[in-house]
Structure 1
Amino acid sequence: MTKQEMFDKFIEFMGEFAQIKAVAALRDGFIMTTPFTICGSVFLLLANLPLPGYPEFMASIFGADWTAPLNAVAGGTFSVLALIVVLAITYKFVENEGCDAIMASILSLSTFLILMPPEIISKGGETVGDIIPKAWVGSNGVITAILIAFFVSYVFCYCEKNHIGIKMPDSVPSGVAKAFTALVPGMIFFTCASVLYGLCHYIGATTLPELVFKVIQTPLQGLSDSLAGGSIIVGLQSILFWAGIHGPNVVGGVVSPLLIANSLDNQHLIDAGMSLINNPEAKIFTCQINDVFVKSGGCGLTLGLLFAGIFTARSQQLKSLMKMAFVPGLFNINEPIIFGLPIVFNPYLLVPFVIVPLIAMFVTYFAITTGFMAPFSAVQVPWTTPPVIAGFLLNGWQGAVVQIINLAIATVIYFPFLKAQDKAFLKEEMGDMEEEAKEDNAVKAEVKPAAEQ
């Protein structure tokens, strides 16, 4: 098998992978969590704005406990992320199957809550029961939430499509009939949850979320936080996008739960009064590195390509494209350059499109490991926030400097490749002009004898 055939097989496999029902539901479900994480980030950012003297100024106006209302919003978004995830993924999966998505989501939520630890130990050493522990309905419970969502979705859709349930007479209102239809799958979910709870409690003196976190989530987060794991994530995004598959969506659907969990773990360290700089417990590769520092201007760090185009463009095609794509590129919208240049299946730009994000990841990773920049907390910025501004909001002037360095490197790397592309465009345009000139001459040659007659 040749290299081209292997590449084609790989692209075909990833295209089929992106169409898997579970993967699509995972991707769409985490997209539904975006309003919660972004809105929570805004309030968290207001509580931790990286400006000298800002905390003292706010405390002088609103008192020493001025961050409490802002942190309450963060607690109602980030700290219940697993609850949002189990609802969102179940809803998207069941909705795509054409079944009762609302009822399935509610059953999924109840199943998830049954498996939660029933009590917590307070700071004073007292056991407190009858609570929903935020420690396990937040980032620590995300993988469990995903597993529960898939289980409930598959079984619920199977039962509904095969009419396994209590069928009511046609005279019964549809809302009541649907409620009775959900009784059988509900009993299946709750019985399974009860058995799992008992097995974990009596055999292992633990709960399912704690077991999943220890056996599955912790190793996966460790893998995603490594330089090798980060390289695979970043490189795969670009390769797939170059091949016409939306890499960030496909890869993000799988790794976003882990990267978000990494950033939330860092937030827990901050909440405990610990510094993230040079802290061995802090996670380095988080969603902010991928979304803000690796994808400035869009996947492939194409804002660097646009800057290179300003100095390179001689062909009319590239000049007009730069004018059209530059402003959207400042707000991380790069579809005009991805499909307009295009970058998709463009042999001139495959190498820089893959290499540039990897180098940006290495630079950012090095900046964090050396202590120049702190690892990222739960604070996120809207994805349309322009580069440099986004870096400053996330990590102060150090974040802005790292983004500027990444953009400068991207511009330098893209320059020779874009110059070769521009020459190809120019040659094509010159050929078109010659063809037009020949056609004009041919027309004139035909018109002249007719005029003489």
Structure 2
Amino acid sequence: MPASVPPAVGQMFETMIPGGVTFILYLVVRYAVSLTSFATMQNLIYTIIQTPLMGATANMAGMLVYCIASKVLWLFGIHGGLVTYAAFGTIIKTTGAANVSAFAAGETVPYLEWGMVTGFTNVGMLGLSLAMIICTRSKQYKSLGKLSLPTSLFNISEPLIFGFPLVMNPVMAIPFILSPIVSILPTVVVMQLGLVAPITGAQVATTIPFPIWLSLMNSSVSGFIWGLVVVALNVLLYLPFVKIADRMACSEETASEATGAQS
């Protein structure tokens, strides 16, 4: 643009050129797609990308990949939930919509595991807090269990992930990764067998205490009862590993007290 043109006006024209080129290219592509059997870009993307992606990941195997990847990232101090949701968010939303549609039609929801995955992700933290309260003798873990119980009750995991810590902890990595798996798999089984009412596809905030959350998800008292069972399973899962960490902490506290007494 000539030097006499004001900068604000020149910048407007500079953005109009690439914007105009992009718009024209889009119109060309849109017209070309309209000549095919897909008719629209939406149908093209859904058929070529969405349908194969759903077939590959909207199942139990995909859910396990989602859970494991999330927990492994947390072990390295990365917010696993945010990272994995960025990759699997479309699957979660699509399966959620399919569950709601099925329930409205009086049918069983087709994606039980994906309908519950976000609520089951952090239930292990409640199991860990209760395990520390039940079996620990060290001062640090006994206190941490009491302090973390209120946050764990509402599925807030950061105090334990960074306070225990679970980050870079190879021993606690085992139950941490297994927790959502041993929680969801039995739940899907008992729902498929009819022992617990299946979920309705409702969207419920995951900050609600787990047994209450599950009862709201399936609109049945059976959800609350099974939620208590899931919490108990997580307590049992974490207990042996908490005992290992507690013995190490007790040894360190004893050594520290002995050193302090000598000095």
Q: TM-score, normalised by structure 2?
A: 0.89
| C-alpha RMSD of the superposition | 2.3
2:22 is aligned with what amino acid?
Answer: F
| Residue-pair matches, total | 261
Residue correspondence of structure 1 range 259-298 to structure 2 within 5 A: 259-271=92-104, 274-277=105-108, 282-286=110-114, 288-296=115-123
Secondary structure of 2:36's counterpart equals helix
Please give the alpha-carbon distance, in whole angstroms, between the structure 1 residues aligned to 2:5 and 2:223: 63
Question: Any unmatched runs of 5+ in structure 2?
Answer: none
The residue type equivalent to 1:387 in the other structure is F
Matches within 5 A, 1:51-90: none
Pairwise mapping of residues 99-138 of structure 1 onto structure 2 (< 5 A)? none
2:41 to 208, 214, 233: 208
Structure 1 residues 268 and 318 mapped into 2: Cα distance closer, same or farther (>3 Å)?
same
Q: Is the 8 A contact 1:234 1:358 kept in 2?
A: yes
- Find 2:228's aligned residue among 399, 404, 420: 404
Could you report, residue by residue, the CA deviation over 1:193-225 in whole angstroms, capped at 9, with x for unpaired residues? 212222221122521111211221122123222
Specify which of 348, 360, 369 is matched with residue 171 of structure 2: 348
Note the alpha carbon deviations across 1:91-123, whole angstroms, 9 max, x for none: xxxxxxxxxxxxxxxxxxxxxxxxxxxxxxxxx
Tell me what 1:425 maps to.
249
State the Cα distance separating 1:343 from its structure 2 match.
0.8
Residues 289 and 364 of structure 1 are in contact (CA less than 8 Å); yes or no, is this contact kept in structure 2?
Answer: no
Report if aligned partners of 1:221, 1:259 keep a CA contact under 8 Å in 2: no
Alignment match, 1:323 = 146
- The corresponding residue for 1:9 is none
Please say if residues 179 and 237 of structure 2, whose CA atoms lie closer than 8 Å, have aligned partners that are also in contact: yes
Aligned to 2:76: 243
1:188 to 21, 25, 34: 21
Are the structure 2 counterparts of residues 345 and 198 from structure 1 closer, same or farther at C-alpha, using a change threshold of 3 Å?
Answer: same
Matches within 5 A, 1:137-176: 171=6, 174=8
1:360 aligns with 2:183: yes
Q: Tell me how far 1:339 sits from its aligned partner.
A: 0.8
Shift in alpha-carbon separation, 1:167–1:376, aligned structure 2, 3 A: farther
5+ residue gaps in structure 1? 1-165, 440-453
Alpha carbons of 1:391 and 1:187: their partners in 2 closer, same or farther (altered >3 Å)?
A: same
Q: What is the SS of the residue equivalent to 2:113?
A: coil
Larger Rg: 1
Distance 1:360 1:347 in 2: 21
Q: Which has the higher contact order (CA 8 A, sep 6+)?
A: 2
Given that residues 127 and 232 in structure 2 are in contact (C-alpha distance below 8 angstroms), is that contact kept between their aligned partners in structure 1?
Answer: yes
Equivalence map 1:330-341=2 (5 Å)? 330-341=153-164
CA distance in 2 between counterparts of 1:369 and 1:221 reads: 21
Q: 1:380 to 1:349 in 2, by over 3 A?
A: same
Aligned-residue sequence identity (percent) comes to: 27
CA shift at 1:422, angstroms? 0.7
Bigger helix fraction = 2
Aligned-residue offset at 1:262:
0.7
Q: In the TM superposition, what is the alpha-carbon distance from 1:419 to its structure 2 partner? A: 0.9
The range that moved more, 232-241 or 398-407, is 398-407
Give the AA of the match of 2:95. Answer: N
Instruction: Using structure 1 for the length normalisation, give the TM-score.
Output: 0.54
Counterpart check, 1:437 vs 2:261: yes
Change (3 A) 1:269 1:194: farther
Q: CA deviation at 1:268?
A: 2.8
